[in-house]
Amino acid sequence: EDQVTQSPEALRLQEGESSSLNCSYTVSGLRGLFWYRQDPGKGPEFLFTLYSAGEEKEKERLKATLTKKESFLHITAPKPEDSATYLCAVRAASGGSYIPTFGRGTSLIVHP
Amino acid sequence: EPEVTQTPSHQVTQMGQEVILRCVPISNHLYFYWYRQILGQKVEFLVSFYNNEISEKSEIFDDQFSVERPDGSNFTLKIRSTKLEDSAMYFCASSEGGTGSTIQYFGAGTRLSVL
Residues in chain B closer than 8 A to A27 (CB atoms): none
**Residues A23 and A5: beta-carbon distance below 8 Å:** yes
pLDDT in tens for each of the 115 residues of chain B? 779 999 999 999 999 999 999 999 999 899 999 999 999 899 999 999 999 999 999 999 999 999 999 887 899 999 999 999 999 999 999 998 877 667 889 999 999 999 9
Pairing of strands B19-24, B5-7: antiparallel
Residue A4: closest C-alpha in chain B: B42
pLDDT in tens, A98-107: 788 899 999 9
Residue B13's contacts (CB-CB under 8 Å, 6 or more residues apart) are B19, B82, B112, B113, B114, B115
Length of chain B: 115
